[in-house]
Every structure is written in C-alpha cells, then in structure tokens.
Structure 1
Amino acid sequence: MSSILTNNSAMVALETLRNVNRNLEAVQSEISTGKKVATAKDNAGIWAVATVMSSDVESFKQISDSLSLGSSTVGVARAASEQIVKTLQEVKSLIVTAQGENVDRTKIAADITAKSDLVTGFINAAQFNGLNLIDGNSAATVNVLASLNRASDGTVTAGNIEVASVDLTTDLAALATIDVSDSTAAATALGTIEDLLQVAIDAAAAFGSSQASINSQGEFVKNLTDALRSGVGSLTDADMEASSAKLQALQVQQQLGVQALSIANQQPQALLSLFR
C-alpha cells in the first residue's frame, strides 16, 4: 500500500543517513585529534584509566628531576670524599717520610698543616644547592624521592632512596692534631692517619654506592615513563590508517544515503499518475 502521509522508505533512508553522519563525525574527530578516546563520552572506562596513567607520567617527570638533583648532590659529596682520600694519602706519605731520623720535621709538619687546611676547605665546599652531606650540618639521613607506588586499590605512596650523611668535620678532626716533631710522635701519627684514611675511604665508597643506586633508579624511571606513555597511547590513540579507510567508506555511504533519501522523497510524486 502506498501512502502520501507516511513514507516508510524515506524514514529508513533518513535514519540510515543519520547513523552514517554520526559515524562520520566520530571518524573526523579521531583524525583531527589523533585520539579514538579524547573525552570521557568516547569511552568512560578507558578514558579514566588513561587519565590516571597520564597523571602518573607527569609525576614521574618530577621524580626524574628529583633523582637528578639527588644524584648531583651525592656526586658532589662523593667527589669531595675522593679528593680528601687523595689528600690524606699525601699526608700519609709525609708521615712515612717523618719516620726517618735525618729529615726536616718542621717542613713536613708545615706541609701536613697545609694539607689539613685543604681537607677543611673540601669539606666546607662540598655542597649542592645548599645541602652538604659531609660537614655534619645535614640530617643523618637524606631522602631522595625515587618512585610513585600505586597499589591495586588506587592508594599512592612515595618511595625514597635514603642517603646517609657523614660528619667528616668531626671524624677527621684528629688530622689537625697530627704531630711529627719526633720519631715517637711520628709513629703515633702513622696509626692516626691510617684510621682517618679509612674513614674517608668508607665515606667515598658509601656515597659512590648511593649515587649508583640513584642513577639506576633514574634509568628505571625513564624506561617506566616511556612504557606508561606507550600504554596510554595504545588505549587512546587512533589508528590513522584504519580511520582514513573508514572515512572514505563513510563518505561513500553518505553520498549513497543522500541519493536513497532523494529517491524515497520522490515516491509520493508517482501517486499523481493514479489520478490522471
């Protein structure tokens, strides 16, 4: 039955065209933004997960900066400790020389005093951004922000690498009292410098280990950040090749839909022939 009041063919063609236009709008959005999930209305679940991961990526950028700062701070303390070790080794050589009988003890004592002043200068200068890990003025343990730990329930906690400071000002105080004025004092000084040298070596080794740990964590954070970015991309990025092919197909469907609707709208005109 034909009707001039209800054109079923036109309604079907119109609904088909509407669906094509909606799909075409979605594909054009993917192509323009590069994302298949750009807002929560695109896919609420995926958008929520991707947003949380993206916020973690931004946080890990700050953590990477914190690790770089920590590595630099510890690196200064390590370099200073190593230089102190070298200077103490030179002091030890002077003390060994003082073990002899026919030596200029006054000159040796003056050299030891000069090197003791150098050690004091190294300790005082070993600061980075105001933090000195070897002068005894910092906290016993310094925390370097190293990670962001997210539990399965969404709880987030910060992870730290602890770096123990060393009070070389106090630990090496005996350096200023070394006496080589006679053979007995020189023999005592030899034992003293051995102890002081071991203190400095232990400090340099500890700082070296801490800096290696911080640098390793820094590399891990960079790799983790790249992995998170890749994960977010796989969830939200559009497949541009597929979108391009889909766009062309929808454009053809749109043209056919317009043509089908035009044909359906002309059907009532055919009824006029019945009344001629």
Structure 2
Amino acid sequence: MTPGISGPLQQAQSAEPERQGNPMSSILTNNSAMVALQTLKAVNNNLAKTQGEISTGKSVASASDNAAVWAISKVMESDVQGFKAISDSLALGESTLAVGKKAAEASTDLLTQIKGKIVAAQEENVDRAKIQTDIDALTNQIKSVVGAAQFNGKNIVNNSDFTSILSSLDRDSEGNVKSASISFNGQNLTQTTGSLGTGTGLTDLSGNVSATTATLSSAPVRDDGAAVPTNADISLTGDFSADSLSFDIGGTTVSFAAGDLDTTATTAAGQIAAAINAAQIEGISVTNNAGTLEFASTRQFDATTISVTQGGASSGTLGATTVDLAQRAEDFTFSGVNVNKGDGYQINIANAGITATYVASAGDTMEDVAKGLKLAIDAENNADITTAVSFDSSTNEWTLKIDNANATADTVNVVANNDANDNAVETGRLAGLDGFDVTTKDGAEAALSNIETLIQRSIDSAAEFGSVQGRVETQSDFVSKLTDSLKSGIGALVDADMEEASARLQALQVQQQLATQSLSIANQAPQQLLALFR
C-alpha cells in the first residue's frame, strides 16, 4: 500500500493492473465511445422490440421473431379459419334440417286429423261424402307443406337423396388434413306413385318374393293348392248320446254334455251343426251331410284350427279330432334381405285391372315394400280386392295377403328388379294417401288400416331429422368451443405479456437515457488531450 493514500483512490490504484485493453489515450480510437455506442444500440433494439410488442400485441409477429412458434401459430390460424367456415356450414345444415323436421311434424299433425275423419267414417249414419271432402283438403295441404319445405333451395322432404353437412377438419400427427361430415338421407314425404326402372342394367330380384305368379280363387271358399284346404270334414259314427264333446273353433268353444246329443250319429251331427252356426263365429259355417260335419271358412286372412275333445262314455267315433281351415287370401312373402334405393316391386292383378308399384327409397326395409304395395293396391279402390300385411318374427319375413271376393278367379303376377341405370322413380312415403276413399264402408275400412302406416312413416321422418339436427347442434357447439380453444392456444404462443412489456419499456427508456449520456461523456474524452498541449 502506498503511504498516505487510502479510500477510493487506493482502490482505483489497486485495480489498475487488472484493466483490459489499451490504457493509452488516442484521438483516433475512442474505445469508451464505441462501448457506449454498442450499449446504446442494444438498448434501442430492445426498446424497438418492446414498442413493437406493445403496438401489435404480439411477442411473435413474424417468422424472424421465432420461426418455430410462428409456423405453429400460422397452421393453427388456418385451422381457425377452416372451423369458421365449418361453423357456417353447420348453421346452414341445421336450418335446413329444422325446416324439414317442421314439415314432417306438420304432416304428422295433418295425418292425425285425417285419421280422425276416417274413424268418423266408420259409422253408418254419417255423411261420408262430406268427410271425404275434408280428407281431400287435408291431403292437398300435406302436398303444399311438403312442396314448400325448402331452405336456400334445398328440400329434404321431397326425395331420399343423400345429404352431407361438413362438420369437422381432422389433422393427424403428420399434418395431413381430411374433412368429416354428418350425413343423412332425405325423407320422401311426397305422394308420388313410383315406377320401375327399364333397360338392360336391371337386376332380377324375384328371388326375394315367395311367388311371382299366383291365382286368386273365387269367393266364397276355395282350395288354394296348399296342404291345408279351406274346407274340412269331421265324420260322426255310432252313438254319442252318452258322450261329451267340446269343439274349439279358432278360440271359440261350443260344448255338449253327456245326454245332449241324439243316439243317431246323423241326428247328432245336425244338432252339433245347428249349435255351432248359432254361435255366429265370424267367417265359419258348418253343414250336416248325412253324419259328416262339413266346415267352411270365408275368413280372408286368418287360418282356423278346429279341435274336438271327446269325453264321457266315448262310445261314438270321430273321423278326426283336429282339422285346419286355411285363409282365403293368397300370400306373397318378402324375404328379410336388405333393400336398396331403386329396388322395385310391382303386382299386377289381371281381371281387377290393378297395377301396384313400389320403388324403394334410401333406408327402406321389406316392411316398407310390403306395406307400400298394400297401399298401392288399396288406392285402386276395387271392392273385390282386399289386402293385409303380417310379420313372422321367427323368419323375419313380411307377408302381403291379397284376397279376391269376386265370383271369378283372378291372376296375380309379380315383377321385381333393381334399377342399375337409375331411371326408376321412387315411391313417396305418403303414396296412396290421395287414393283414400271413405265414401264406401270397404273404402273406409281400408283407409283405417293404412292411415297408421302413413302416420308412422311421417313420425319416423320427423324423428330422423330431429336426431340428425341434435347431432348438428352438438357439433356446432363443439366447433365453437374448439375454435375458442385454438384461439387461446395461439394467443399463448404469440401474444405479448402487456404487463411485462410495460415494465420493460420503462426500464429500457431509463437505460436509453443513461446510454445516451454515457456516449456523450465518452465523446468528450478526446477533448481532455488539449490540456496537455497548453
């Protein structure tokens, strides 16, 4: 330590050997000024960056700020724009579905009103002609509703065309993007009568029908060629006076106690026939032919089993204890295979002059085919031809039953094909409605059996639209929240922290002032050399 020197001067002298750089003074090179200038530039750069963050609100405004983060944010921003377009698509689809659903619901309400008119027409003492006028007016109103149910030119209740609503953009880990859609088929609630396709591209579908030709036998009873005839005999032999007999005829029981019947079989058969006929079992009659009970059925669509239980002395002899009476109608069974759009089935009933056609819409089943053909036949309003539809759950098959009440037999031919050339006209799901005729008792009964089918179809259509609309609403809500999440994620990547930027701005402004002052001082250092030359 130098004697007599202490404090800051002593510290300055102690630090002297550790200085870096050239200690000499120069009028050509001002190291202090260069250091101060670099410091000022750095402060100005940071200040400019901070001011840019404050003015743009972004910490990463360009690729030069942070290339990786900027690239990610731009991809996410493009997805946000895509989802905005998807949101618009979902809004359009939702509105279209809402219009279609409202039309289907309105049609259901009108069909329900028609049902009320049809029920009223079942009475004998009503003015059926006026009721028919009301039904015609309601039918025309349904046509008006279906025809007007369009949104931006799109009508989803007058055809079964495939409709797709853009619902999402899916990006995988490799950056590949593909779109996703909510798809559904329109519900053809028109009353259009379908027509089969023509041309060389037709596929034969006759294998889906149990018979392509058949004979509708004449009324009142017939032998349809099956193993079970509509006539059945039970012969009586011997003495039945001490016997008890119980006849179960399709669920109706006619019983005779021991002592009720005569000792002579022929007389006993007459007593039995008289008692059964007196029971007035619908469609069933029996005659006594010299001791033989000859049963006959005019039931159109129901087979009947007759079983006899014998008790008491059991001295008399029965030729049979169980016989069956077949239905009068002819069956056409449709297999449970898938039904494709354009599948066409046509039934021609020659003498009755009936040609009934059903061409499937998208989503139809064999139930729709069988019931559609029934509606088409009934729409011809031929009093001799009556129809019914049944389902066998064990075989999953639908059967169309056709009965002929005319005294002359008739011939039925069935044509079935699929139109590969796409020139078939699909049958409207409400086809046959404009053929309802309640001015007659038979017509009122046919309309009552068919209106339920049309109401159910309309209900199913509204439910289908409602289900899809629910999906669209859910997806729309999800897309909205997803877009918000993406925006939030982009903000987390590139947005500036304004509190931090504000504090940094003030600090940098102070640093700028200090750096400016330091540079000013450094620039004045060479002037000190002038004192050495005085």
Q: TM-score, normalised by structure 2?
A: 0.50
Q: Flag the structure with more relative contact order, 1 or 2, with Cα contacts below 8 A and sequence separation at least 6.
A: 1
- Aligned twin of 1:166: 187
The residue that corresponds to 1:35 in the other structure is 58
Note the C-alpha offset of 1:111: 0.8
Corresponding residue for residue 93 of structure 2: 70
Q: CA deviation at 1:143?
A: 0.3
Which residue of 137, 140, 145 corresponds with 2:166? 145
Shift of 1:189: 1.1
Q: How many residues align?
A: 274
Shift of 1:251: 0.7
Cα drift, residue 148 of structure 1? 1.2
TM-score normalized by the length of structure 1: 0.95
User: Counterparts of 1:163 and 1:38 in 2: how far apart (Å)?
Assistant: 44
Please list, as runs of the form range in 1=range in 2, the aligned pairs for 1:1-276 lying within 5 A after superposition: 1-4=23-26, 5-136=28-159, 139=161, 141-169=162-190, 170-276=428-534
Q: Cα RMSD between the aligned structures?
A: 1.3
Deviation of the 1:230 alpha carbon: 1.2
1:77-120: per-residue Cα shift (whole Å, max 9, x none)? 10000000000000011111111111111111111111111111
Measured in 2, the distance between the counterparts of 1:195 and 1:250 equals: 82
What letter is aligned with 2:64?
A: K
More strand by share: 2
Q: Once the two structures are superposed, what CA deviation does each residue of 1:195-222 show, in whole Å capped at 9, x if it has no partner?
A: 0000000000000111111111111111
Pair member with larger Rg: 2
Displacement of 1:274 in angstroms is: 3.5
Q: Deviations over 1:104-139 (max 9, x none)?
A: 111111111111111111111111111111112x62
Residue identity in the other structure for 2:178: T
CA distance in 2, matches of 1:122, 1:144: 24
**Unaligned runs of at least 5 residues, structure 1:** none
**Offset at 1:246?**
0.5
TM-superposed deviation, 1:22: 0.6
Report deviation, 1:273: 3.3
Secondary structure of the corresponding residue to residue 264 of structure 1 = helix
Q: CA deviation at 1:272?
A: 3.3
Between the aligned partners of 1:110 and 1:181, the Cα distance in structure 2 is 10
Q: Which runs of 5+ in 2 are unaligned?
A: 1-22, 191-427
CA-CA distance at 1:142 after TM superposition:
0.2
Structure 1 partner of 2:208? none
